[in-house]
Amino acid sequence: MERYLKDFVIEPKNPSEEALQKWRSAVRIVKNPSRRFRHVADLLKRREAEAKRRKIQEKIRVALYVQKAALQFIDAVSAADHHLSDEVQEAGFGMDANELASVVRGHDAKKLRLHGGVDGIARKLAVSLNDGVSESSLDARQKIYGFNRYVEKPPRSFWLFVWEALHDLTLIILMVCAVISVVVGVVTEGWPKGMYDGIGIILSIFLVVLVTAVSDYRQSLQFRDLDKEKKKIFVYVTRNGYRQKISIYDIVVGDVVHLNIGDQVPADGIFLTGYGLVIDEASLSGESEPVNVDQGKPFLLSGTKVQDGSGKMLVMSVGMNTEWGKLMETLSEGGEDETPLQVKLNGVATIIGKIGLSFAVLTFLVLLCRFLADKAISGEFTKWSSQDALLILNYFAVAVTIIVVAVPEGLPLAVTLSLAFAMKKLMNDRALVRHLSACETMGSATCICTDKTGTLTTNHMVLNKLWICEDTHIVKNDSWNESLSSVHESAMAIFLQAIFHNTGAEVVRSKEGKRNILGTPTESALLEFGLLVGGDPDTEQRLTLVEVEPFNSVKKKMSVIVALPGGGFRAFCKGASEIILQMCDKYIDSTGECVSMTNTHAKNIMDVINSFAGEALRTLGLAFKDMDEKGNEIPEDGYSLIAIVGIKDPVRPGVKEAVETCRVAGITVRMVTGDNINTAKAIARECGILTDDGLAIEGPDFREKGPEELKELIPKIQVMARSLPLDKYKFVTQLRLVHKEVVAVTGDGTNDAPALHESDIGLAMGIAGTEVAKENADVIILDDNFSTIENVVKWGRSVYINIQKFVQFQLTVNIVALIVNFASACITGTAPLTAVQLLWVNMIMDTLGALALATEPPTDELMHRPPVGRDESFISRTMWRNIIGQAIYQLIVLGALEFDGKRLLKLSGSDADSVLNTFVFNSFVFCQVFNEINSRYIEKINVLDGMLSSGVFLAVLVVTVAFQIIIVEFLGAFASTVPLSLQLWLISVAIGIVSMIVAIFIKLIPVEPAARKSEHKQGYKLLPSAPQETESP
C-alpha cells in the first residue's frame, strides 16, 4: 500500500505549499468535498489572506518608517480644533477613539505634544499614571472606546453541518433514485406498499446525515473550546492603585500596563517609564529590525513583542481601532495545515475509492446484463414494464450504495475526530495543543530536551544557604536571626541594597494590605529573604535608579546603577555565580570591609559555589561597585563580591517515575539548562536523567567542538549546563538532521523561540513561559510539569494506534461488503444487501466506528514499546493479516448462507427467501460488531481488556445492537427485512462471537516484520510493523 501513497506524504511541521498542493491533485474520488476537506487548509484563501496581510503591513510600514512632513501636516490638528461628541464629554473624557488612534497609528509626536504629552493625554482620559484607572469607570470606557476584541468568524450552527452533510454526491443520487422509486412504486403497486423501498432509502439517508452532522458539530465545539484556550493571554495592570493580573480582552483605554521580556503588547499606547525597552514589530510591520522605545520614541503598537527590557505603557486604542485588530481578521483565513495522518488517509481513501468505484460499476453491469439475458432467454426482451424500470433503478441504487460504502470518506475525518478527542482530554490534563500535527508527532518522539527549572523542579524557590563575610550560613525561617547574627551590619546593609535595587521583581500591596511579590521564582526567593531579615523595600529603594540592564539568558546577569545621596554612583550586578566571581577583584571580608581578592580567595569562593551546587542548589552571586561618575555603559569588571546565595528548588513529585517511563518507552530525556553544571548534574541524577555512561557538558565546551566531535558526543550528552539559547538551537538541529531523532523541546524564554520553532515538537511552559515562547510552540504545558509531557507522548501514541484500529476495522468491512455484493450479483443476479441495509452498514463502519475506535483512551502499555518510526508503514503486515483473516472468515460464512442457507438453517415456506436475506444481513452486522471489538487491539489476544473503562466504545456497541434490533423487527417494510426467531437471533450473534475466536487463531499466525532501516542510537530496536501490545499481568 505504501508505494501507492508516495504522493500523500507531507512534513509534520511547516510543510511546503508544493507538497500540500501535490496530494490535493492526487485525490480523485470525493463524495463530499466540503466535509472531507473541512479540516484541510484552503490554499486559495490562505494566499488571498497573505496578500491582504502584506497590504496592511505595507500601510503600517509607511506610517512607521516613511512619515513624511505632508502626512504629519495633514494629520496635525490642534486639540482646540478637534470636535468632541456629546457622549464623550458626558462620560468625562477629553478625546475620542479616532483621535487617540490617529496619534499612535501615525506615530504623530507633534499631535502628542499638542495634546499636552503623556500627562495631557492622561488628564483627558481621566486616569492617574500612578494609580491607573478607577474600576468604577470600566463600563464607561468600554462604551466610549470599545472592547479589546477582534472581529472573528461567527461559529457554524448545527444546521450548517446538516446542510454540508447533505452535499454528499452519492447521497444526492440515492435521494433522486428514492424519489423515482416512490413515484414508480406508487403507480405500479399502489399506496402505501409502493413507497416503502424509496421512503426507506430517504429515511436512511437522513439518519446518516443526522448522525454525521451531530458528530461533526461536536468536533467543532471541541475545537472552538480549544481555540478559546489558545487565545488566553494575561497581563499586569495597575487599577485603583493596585497591581492586578487580567486578560488582555479586559483591557480598556486608560489602563496602565506593565511590560516585561517576552510579553505581547496588548493594545496601542504610549510609553510611560521603563528601562532598555526593545520592541519586535515584525509580526505587525514585517520589519525584522527591533525598535528602541523610550520618551523620545514613545509609541507602542498592539501585537508587537517585547524583545528586551521592561516598562509601563498607557493604553490609547483597543480592539478594531488598532492595526493589529485589522490584521487579526486575516490570521485565521485559510485554516491550519493538515496533519501527515490526514494526508495519508486521504490517499488510502482515494485508492480504496477507485477500487470501490470499479466494483460498483462491475456490479451494476453484471446485474444489468443478467437481467437483459434473462429477458432475452424468456423472449420478453421487447416487452418492458414499469416494474422492469424499477428493478433497474434498484440495481443502480445498489451500485451507488456500494460506492457510499466503498469510498471511506470517514478515514481522514477519523484522524480529526481522534485528535479533537485527544486534545480535549489533554486540555483537562493541563496540556494545550496549539497545532493538530503536534499530537501525532509526539507519538514518534525519540528525544525530549527539557529545561530544569519549573519543569523538573517545583519552581518554588527558597534561599537555603548564604555565603557572606567569608562564612556560610544555613537559612531557616525559625532561626535565621541566630545564623546571621555574626554578619557585619554594613555588609548586611549593602546586601539588602543589592537585593531590593537590583531586581526584576516587585513588592506590592494587595487591597487587603498584604505584601505580595510579583516576579520570577528566583527573584521572589531573594526578595522573600530580604523581607524575612527585616529589609523594608520602601526604605531600601529610596536610592534613584539611573540605569537598568534587565536579566537575559545570554549574559546570565542583571545590572543596575543607582545615584548615591552624597554624590557618586553605585553599580549592582547579580547573576550566575561563576560569571559574577570573574567580574570581581575584591570581596567583603568578615569585618565588612572590601579587600582585594587573591587567587586563593577566588579558589575558596569557587569551592563554596561548587559545594552549594553539589547539593542541587541554584547559585547566584551579588556584587557592587562604587563610581564617581556614570559611564556610557554599566561596568563589566572591578566589582566587589557581596555574597553567594544557594537557592533550593525541589524536584517535582513524580518526575523520576515519568523519566523512567520515557526511558522504557525508548525516549531519551536530556536536560538543557543555564544553571551551574554541578547543580544540573545533581538534579539530573535525582531525576534519573544522568546515568553512569551519560555525559554532562557545559555550553562553552559544546560550542568549541567540531562537527566530527559533535557527531560522536551528541548521542551521549544527557546534561548541558550553562547553555545559551543558541546552544539549545544547535543541539536540537544536530539531533534532528544528523542523528535523525524526533525531538521535543521545552522552552519558556523569548530566546528559546528558535529552538522551539526548529524542533519537531515545541513545548512551551504555561506558567513561566513568555508569550513569544508560547507563540512559537506546538504544545503549551499549562502546569509546567514534566509528567504532563509524558502524558502528551502517551496520547500521541494513542492517536496513531486508534487510527490504525479504525483502518483495520473499516478495510475489513469494505472488502467483505464489496466481494459479497459483487459475487452474489455474478452468481445469483441479485444483491444480498439492499441500499438501506448498506447505508446502515456504512454508518456502523464510518461515523459510529470512528467514534468507537478513534476515541479510545490510552493505556500504560503504550509506553512499553519504542516510538513509531518516521518511515513506518501505516497499514502494517500485522494489520493485513488481521484484515485478510477476518475477511476470509466472514466471506466463507456469508457465502455459505447466501448460496446454501435454506438447507443449513432448515428454512421453508413462502417467506424463506426473506428470512434468509434478513439473516444474512443480521449475521453480517454482528460480524462487524464483534470485529469492532477484535480491532481494539491489533496484536493483543485479550481484546476485552479495559473495555469497560471506554464509555464511548460501549455506548456505540449498545446503540448499534439496539438499532439493529429495531431495523430487523420493526422497520421491515422500509429495510426489506422480516422479524427473526430467537433461535436465528442467537445464531447470528454466535457467528459474530466465533469471529472473536477466529481472531485469536489469526493473531497466533507469525508475521515476518518489514525490513528495518536502522537501529536506534540507544540500542533498542525500532517499532515493528504493528504495535506490540503486551498482555496485562
Sign of the alpha-carbon torsion through 558, 561, 562, 564: positive
**How many residues are given for the chain?**
1033
Catalytic residue among 216, 451, 727, 752: 451
> Taking Cα atoms as reference points, which of 344, 205, 395 lies closest to residue 836?
205
Cα–Cα distance, 458 to 444 (Å, whole number): 28
Prior bond of 866 cis (ω within 30°): no
pLDDT of residue 125: 92
Q: Is 485 exposed, middle or buried (0-12, 13-18, 19+ CB in 10 A)?
A: exposed
Q: Kindly report the CA angle at 466 between 460 and 469, in degrees rounded to 5?
A: 160
763 residue type, one letter? L
Residue with cell 490617529: 102
Residues forming a β-bridge with 28: none
Each residue's pLDDT tens digit, 117-126: 999 999 999 9
Each residue's pLDDT tens digit, 856-875: 889 888 898 889 877 778 88
Q: Return mean pLDDT, the chain.
A: 84
Cα–Cα distance, 698 to 687 (Å, whole number): 19
211 residue type, one letter? V
pLDDT higher than threshold 60 for residue 1026: no
Give the containing element (helix H, strand E) for 877. Answer: helix 877-905
| DSSP code of residue 844 | I
Cα–Cα distance, 12 to 6 (Å, whole number): 15
Q: Residue 423: which pLDDT band, with cuts at 50, 70 and 90? A: confident
Q: Residue 1027: which pLDDT band, with cuts at 50, 70 and 90? A: very low
Grid cell listed for 190: 399502489
Residues ≥6 apart with Cβ < 8 Å to 285: 57, 60, 61, 64, 65
What are residue 753's phi and psi, to 5 degrees? Answer: -55, -45
Residues forming a β-bridge with 509: 515
| DSSP code of residue 1023 | P
Angle of helix 951-970 relative to helix 835-843, nearest 10 degrees, comes to 170
Each residue's pLDDT tens digit, 700-748: 999 999 989 999 999 999 999 999 888 999 999 999 999 999 999 998 8
Q: Residue 312: which pLDDT band, with cuts at 50, 70 and 90? A: very high
Each residue's pLDDT tens digit, 67-119: 544 444 444 444 445 678 888 888 889 889 888 888 887 788 888 888 889 99
* Percent share of the chain, pLDDT over 90: 35
Residue with cell 487548509: 41
Cα–Cα distance, 713 to 705 (Å, whole number): 9
pLDDT of residue 79: 42
Predicted TM-score of the model (pTM): 0.82
Q: Which of 456-470, 525-539, 737-751, 824-838 has the lowest mean pLDDT?
A: 824-838
Each residue's pLDDT tens digit, 1007-1022: 876 554 444 444 434 4
Return the top range by mean pLDDT from 65-69, 288-292, 911-915, 1008-1012: 911-915
pLDDT higher than threshold 90 for residue 971: no
Q: Residue 620: which pLDDT band, with cuts at 50, 70 and 90? A: very high
Q: Residue 829: which pLDDT band, with cuts at 50, 70 and 90? A: low
- The SS3 of residue 509 is strand
Residue with cell 528558535: 754
pLDDT higher than threshold 90 for residue 684: yes
- The SS3 of residue 622 is strand
Grid cell listed for 314: 498607557
Each residue's pLDDT tens digit, 529-560: 988 888 887 776 678 888 888 887 778 899 99
pLDDT higher than threshold 90 for residue 212: no
Residues forming a β-bridge with 696: 719
Q: Is 900 part of the annotated catalytic residue set?
A: no
pLDDT of residue 74: 45
Return the top range by mean pLDDT from 172-186, 745-759, 840-854, 886-900: 886-900
* Percent share of the chain, pLDDT over 70: 91
pLDDT higher than threshold 60 for residue 582: yes
